[in-house]
Structure 1
Amino acid sequence: MITKIYLDNFKSFVKVAIKLGPLTSFIGTNASGKSNIKDALRILHGISRGFTLAEAIGEKYGEGGVPLWKGIRGGSREMIFSGNGAKECRIGIEFRALSMPKLGSGLQSKEFSGVYWLTIALDHEKANAPKVLSEGLRIHGYDSKRGYVLFRSRTENKVKVGEPHQLSSTHKKYAFRNDIPALTQLVDHASISEEVKAYVYGLIYLLRKMRFLDVSPEAMRQPSLPGQIKLSDRGENLSSVLQAICFDEDRKKLLLKWLRELSPQEVVDFEFSEDTQGKVVFHLVESNGRKTSAYSASDGTLRFLATVVALLSPESAMFYFLEEIENGIHPSRLHLLVRLMEQRAANSEIQLVLTSHSPFMLDFLSEQSLQNLSIIYRLPARAFSEVKSVVDIPDFDELHKNKNVSEMHLSNWFENILEFMDEE
């Protein structure tokens, strides 16, 4: 699990440490900076797939110009906070209980915790591409209080993009390209020990297993080929993923149960029809025999279905970032989604990060989930975003005894008290 995110001079953040739990929720006004957290994590996800920094921040295309990756919003031009003249930004994560794979002879698989950081330099005045300025991985659990530094690197700003820079790993020095983080170069380096590679593989696996759902009803309505059992971030392959789930009777029953609670339709089964290309599309079968295909299912039903499918799929990710989960779902049914997410997170099977503009969703969060509810905000006359856990706001606990969190959110109490604290 990722326990903290560190952002320095990244987009609207100057310097923040953001705490994460099994289920973390972020609230805040439009343009407060919630999506910037997603962009930082997407950069780490992109580099875990072997992309250069330019590709992870911008776009990645395969052979024949096939798009493989969509970059972060604003690209490199708006990646670094512009209010203090900075030309570099840092993204870091703290994690715990990662599994170190068993590699080589005599190496035993074990869990480990640590911190990974990456500083990216960018000078638009000289039209330079992004490069690694510094990077490191520190492993916890050793005798030293600060842990054991597995590797660290530092590049001088004068070193051009793509030129080798020195990286120290377990007291040895190696040369690596500086337009690609060393994290993914280490695993292919013949001189790096199997133990170091095992730790690095564990972290890369976590970063690769991130998902950023931003589903589109139109994409979910399209037929898909049987065997495609990974739901894409936009919701493509929904029909074939559903079909795969339905092969497991227990998962199918659970899915139908959640769907019946959402909708007044008495959905008792799924059916799948095949087109001339062998692609399938799903149909919802009601107790009265009526069938509704994916083509005519409501947007809200599809959004809810995609989220539930992602969480119940045999190919579920380890980490999901979900923006504005309330879209298309009736407020009276939001508790179903929150309940399912809390159940999955409670079993430590999936870590979830949510953003929401819905005050009603907040009232459905358990007391444990409230501990990981934070507000992203900008104070008047300040250009940067800040983060505050709501349980750390003075008087929150006392006020919450008599008021729902939704009432506090609707009355702008969070923003008002934070502004007042700043003035004091």
Structure 2
Amino acid sequence: MLKRIYIDNFRGLVNFELNFDSINLFIGANGSGKSTVFESLRKIQTFLTISCGAGEVFKYSDCTRWQPSLIQRFELEISGNGGDYKYELAIEHNIQHNCHVKYERLYFKNNLLLNIENGKVQLADDNSHISEFPLTTTHSAILLLLETGNTKLKWFQNRMERLIIVQIIPSFMKNGSSKEQVQLNWKMENFVSWYRYITKNKHKSEDLINVLNSLLDGLVGIKFEYLSEEFGTLKLQFSANEDQTRIIDYRLSELSDGQKALFALYTFLYCTESEDYTLCIDEPENFLALTEIQPWLIQLYDFCSEGKLQALLISHHPELINYLLASPMGYWFERQMNAPVRVRKISNEVAENTGLPISELIARGWLYEPA
């Protein structure tokens, strides 16, 4: 489970820190920094899971405009594999808009696993023996050193792959796929390629179809139609009559935006549960009716409460706000122009003292006075 994030000098996030529960709700005005937390997570994930240089991921333009520092710092704490991991990364920019890794460190149970600084690496093997050698400072040392066979490094890198950080844009979801992909894009253009990867276990796809059958009227199956040896088109199969003697196939693009959003949201739930995933979803309620978002929200809450999933949600929707904040697990984001993002943990006492639901307090501007 993702336990903590620290971010400094990334857009409006200055000396910023958040601790996480199994389910977390980010609320606040537009421009208050909620999506920026997701963006920083996505950049760290990209740096740790895709072979690309620091300059391809971390941009000088993302440094906080009103302060002179050219060093961005990030920290993550993740529990799992029998202990707690702590990851530290500092990216140093220069006036030519180039950057390099100033330092990159990984700890497990407070013991050093990896430290790269000044072009040198200290690496602890699975028996805690530390070796030192030179290494480039343009890429993540974790990715470069996976071939050493260090099982703790590999576990951490695999866990970073199990962050799903998305904003569902149904019109961007392509019909076909030429290969499996482990990670979803931010706008979910490669949803079908990720679906091929996540449903390799047939039991998962069967559970998903059983659930979707009650949500998408007449759905009886999901299949790939291969146009070549590798390229396949995802099709959903619907019965045209009650006895299911006539089946009609529909490409993903032929579904409504709401149907595609439902398909994606329930895929997240039933294809990742109990596999130590963290779902980071920006406004999951978009494109859905109230009667559609509530059942999904209840199932998400149950899975998170049972330890099968972790979720970070950004929402303005009254249903999500009131349901999730019945027991406090939310953060209120606020920010004034050219000032750092500030966050407060929401207490349900505010609503209890007024007799109004929290969503109504937010709508009236009564939840908190501006900082």
Aligned to 1:329, the other structure's residue is in SS state coil
Q: Which runs of 5+ in 1 are unaligned?
A: 58-75, 100-110, 141-146, 156-163
User: 1:204 aligned to 2:157?
Assistant: yes
Amino acid in structure 1 at the alignment position of 2:324: L
1:260–1:409 Cα change, 3 Å: farther
1:374 is matched with which residue: 308, 324, 331? Answer: 331
* 4+ aligned runs moved over 6 Å, structure 1: 314-317
Aligned to 1:362, the other structure's residue is in SS state helix
- Which residue in 1 is equivalent to 2:296? 337
1:374–1:259 Cα change, 3 Å: farther
- CA shift, 1:5, in A, is 0.4
- CA shift, 1:221, in A, is 5.8
Amino acid in structure 1 at the alignment position of 2:166: L
User: Which string of whole-angstrom CA distances, capped at 9 and with x for unpartnered residues, describes residues 230-253 of structure 1?
Assistant: 684315454994899699578535
User: Which string of whole-angstrom CA distances, capped at 9 and with x for unpartnered residues, describes residues 258-313 of structure 1?
Assistant: 5535x6xx335236584755734223336646857234321011111111113222
**Aligned equivalents of 1:2, 1:18: Cα separation in 2:** 10
**Aligned equivalents of 1:250, 1:153: Cα separation in 2:** 40
1:18–1:270 Cα change, 3 Å: same
1:240–1:36 Cα change, 3 Å: closer
Equivalent runs, 1:248-267 vs 2, <5 Å: 248=202, 252=206, 255-258=209-212, 260-261=214-215, 266-267=217-218
Amino acid in structure 1 at the alignment position of 2:113: L
1:405 is matched with which residue: 358, 364, 369? Answer: 358
- Which residue in 2 is equivalent to 1:122? 93
In 2, are the aligned partners of 1:26 and 1:34 still within 8 Å (CA)? yes
Aligned to 2:67, the other structure's residue is in SS state coil
- Which residue in 2 is equivalent to 1:91? 74
1:172–1:270 Cα change, 3 Å: closer
In 1, are the aligned partners of 2:184 and 2:194 still within 8 Å (CA)? no
1:239–1:18 Cα change, 3 Å: closer
- CA shift, 1:149, in A, is 3.2
In 1, are the aligned partners of 2:209 and 2:220 still within 8 Å (CA)? no
Equivalent runs, 1:4-83 vs 2, <5 Å: 4-49=4-49, 50-57=51-58, 76-83=59-66
1:79–1:238 Cα change, 3 Å: same
* Count, aligned residues: 356
Amino acid in structure 2 at the alignment position of 1:54: G
**Aligned equivalents of 2:134, 2:335: Cα separation in 1:** 42
1:328 is matched with which residue: 277, 281, 287? Answer: 287
- CA shift, 1:338, in A, is 1.1
Which structure: larger Rg?
Answer: 1
- CA shift, 1:23, in A, is 1.5
- Which residue in 2 is equivalent to 1:319? 278
Q: Which runs of 5+ in 2 are unaligned?
A: none
**Aligned equivalents of 1:37, 1:21: Cα separation in 2:** 15
In 2, are the aligned partners of 1:235 and 1:306 still within 8 Å (CA)? no
**Aligned equivalents of 2:196, 2:213: Cα separation in 1:** 13
Equivalent runs, 1:140-155 vs 2, <5 Å: 140=109, 147-155=110-118
In 1, are the aligned partners of 2:75 and 2:88 still within 8 Å (CA)? yes
- CA shift, 1:13, in A, is 0.9
Aligned to 2:14, the other structure's residue is in SS state strand
Amino acid in structure 1 at the alignment position of 2:256: S
- CA shift, 1:208, in A, is 2.1
Coordinate RMSD, CA, aligned? 3.4
**Aligned equivalents of 2:315, 2:73: Cα separation in 1:** 26
User: 1:113 aligned to 2:84?
Assistant: yes
- Which residue in 2 is equivalent to 1:282? 236
% identity of equivalent residues: 16
- Which residue in 1 is equivalent to 2:319? 360
**Aligned equivalents of 2:117, 2:263: Cα separation in 1:** 46
In 1, are the aligned partners of 2:54 and 2:139 still within 8 Å (CA)? yes
- CA shift, 1:413, in A, is 2.3
**Aligned equivalents of 1:247, 1:204: Cα separation in 2:** 22
In 2, are the aligned partners of 1:152 and 1:167 still within 8 Å (CA)? yes
**Aligned equivalents of 1:187, 1:230: Cα separation in 2:** 17
User: Which string of whole-angstrom CA distances, capped at 9 and with x for unpartnered residues, describes residues 18-66 of structure 1?
Assistant: 1112221111211111121112111221122232212333xxxxxxxxx
Moved more, 227-236 or 303-312: 227-236
- Which residue in 2 is equivalent to 1:107? none
User: Which string of whole-angstrom CA distances, capped at 9 and with x for unpartnered residues, describes residues 163-191 of structure 1?
Assistant: x34657666543221212333334446xx
Aligned to 2:135, the other structure's residue is in SS state strand
In 2, are the aligned partners of 1:33 and 1:385 still within 8 Å (CA)? yes
**Aligned equivalents of 1:137, 1:276: Cα separation in 2:** 45
TM score, norm. by length of structure 1: 0.72
TM score, norm. by length of structure 2: 0.82
Aligned to 1:327, the other structure's residue is in SS state coil
1:295–1:16 Cα change, 3 Å: closer
Amino acid in structure 2 at the alignment position of 1:148: N
- Which residue in 2 is equivalent to 1:215? 168
